[in-house]
């Protein structure tokens, strides 16, 4: 019998989490992620559900136990609940989560729940329709809010909002979002703006740090008390409001990188393995999946990718090189 050997890299980081992008397509065009005018990948370049499943079976044998489905917008891919149902059956997979912009959630929340999806993150940067349009270059705030409400009704318990606060665009939304999350009993997470936009407009001075956001929230509501995190590989630092109403997390990827405890791998929609959001190299699983490559070849490819992981993303270093691909092409 083969001896189990986990996915450990040169810095002893044990990889147990996989982000699966199922498409690069999206029904909106957030400026921090996609270009306004975009050429999506031809459909035959995107992995089929069977190919994704085979990859996940191999990865699960190497210790991957947590999946997050993302994109592009994962809910624009047809029959996504079928994929979730199949992934649930893979031995070793314990947790499946999804990140969505919420635009199609009203229609699909029940089917996602029935398929066995455990956790749902919904991206929402603003409660103002004009700001929503400015960010996403589309209308749709009402649909997202309906989606959140439907997800609550069908019984998703671990619902989380992901928000990006960007200087000059959405700093005025921090407090209203905090208020909304407290009222609706939703967890809220602020993610720092990273240099992964498609149009190369990112500037450090647009990043509102997690610690600045924390101060803004404390001034508006009450003290935020750090919560104990059992899982050191979790990128967020979590706080609870002192009055017991609400929980806020901060993913300070730019100002306080958490690379030293990163346990994540990524598979892009067209089957390239990445060991970091900011990786400039990819490992081609699709060619193996579509050729005579066997599971041992796939396993070796995954291990090679993990072994090559760098200590950190290096955004703050002088020789930082932005990846050629933007967030929607990688899978956030
Ligand atoms: N379309 C889905 C959504 O928006 O939730 C899933 C894919 S999206 C790329 C995943 C997450 O990445 C979203 O929460 C989005 O706000 C975040 N994101 C996109 N571009 C980003 C950037 N440049 N910096 C930080 N987060 C970003
Ligand atoms: Fe689409 Fe999500 Fe990117 Fe916005 S962040 S453009 S919703 S993939």
pLDDT at 235: 85
Which residue puts its alpha carbon closest to atom 8 of ligand 1? 332
Question: Any residues with Cβ below 6 Å from ligand 2, and which?
Answer: 26, 28-30, 33-34, 71-73, 101, 123, 327-328
In a 3-state reduction of DSSP, which class is residue 233?
A: coil
Has residue 124 got a pLDDT over 90? yes
pLDDT at 293: 82
Counting from 1 in the atom list of ligand 2, the atom nearest the Cα of 99 is 2
pLDDT at 229: 72
Has residue 230 got a pLDDT over 80? no
What is the DSSP code string of 1-37?
-PPP---B-TT-PBP-EEEEE--S--SS--TTTS-SS
User: Which ligand does the CA of 266 lie closest to?
Assistant: 1
pTM (two decimals): 0.96
- Pair type for strands 187-191 and 247-251: parallel
Cβ partners under 8 Å of residue 320, min gap 6: 195, 313, 314
Distance 228 CA to ligand 2 centre (A): 31
User: Which ligand does the CA of 197 lie closest to?
Assistant: 1
Least confident of 32-46, 105-119, 141-155, 226-240: 226-240
174 lines ligand 1 (CB under 6 A): no
Kindly state the percentage of the chain with pLDDT values over 90. 90
Distance 221 CA to ligand 2 centre (A): 30
As a whole number, the mean pLDDT across the chain is 95
């Amino acid at each position: 019998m083969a001896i189990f050997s986990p996915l450990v890299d040169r810095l002893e980081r044990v990889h147990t989490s996989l982000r699966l992008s199922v498409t690069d397509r999206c029904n909106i065009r957030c400026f921090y992620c996609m270009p306004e005018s975009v050429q999506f990948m031809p459909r035959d370049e995107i992995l089929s559900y069977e190919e994704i499943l085979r990859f996940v079976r191999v990865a699960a044998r190497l210790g991957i136990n947590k999946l997050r489905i993302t994109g592009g917008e994962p809910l624009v891919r047809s029959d996504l609940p079928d994929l979730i149902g199949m992934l649930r059956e893979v031995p070793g997979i314990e947790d499946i989560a999804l990140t969505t912009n919420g635009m199609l959630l009203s229609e699909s929340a029940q089917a996602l729940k029935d398929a066995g999806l455990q956790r749902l993150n919904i991206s929402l940067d603003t409660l103002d329709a004009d700001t929503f349009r400015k960010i996403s270059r589309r209308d749709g705030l009402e649909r997202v809010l309906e989606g959140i409400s439907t997800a609550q009704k069908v019984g998703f318990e671990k619902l989380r909002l992901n928000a990006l606060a960007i200087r000059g665009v959405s700093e005025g939304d921090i407090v209203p979002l905090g208020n909304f999350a407290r009222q609706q009993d939703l967890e809220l997470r602020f993610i720092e703006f990273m240099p992964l936009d498609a149009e190369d407009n990112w500037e450090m001075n647009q990043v509102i740090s997690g610690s600045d956001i924390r101060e803004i929230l404390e001034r508006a509501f009450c003290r935020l008390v750090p919560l104990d995190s059992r899982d050191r590989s979790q990128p967020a630092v979590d706080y609870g409001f002192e009055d017991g109403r609400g929980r806020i997390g901060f993913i300070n990827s730019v100002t306080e990188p958490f690379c030293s405890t990163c346990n994540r791998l990524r598979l892009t929609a067209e089957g390239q393995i990445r060991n970091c959001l900011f990786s400039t190299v990819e490992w081609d699983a699709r060619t193996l999946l579509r050729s005579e490559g066997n599971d041992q070849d796939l396993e070796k490819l995954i291990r090679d990718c993990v072994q090559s992981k760098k200590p950190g993303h290096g955004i703050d270093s002088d020789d930082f090189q932005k990846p050629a691909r933007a967030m929607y092409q990688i899978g956030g």
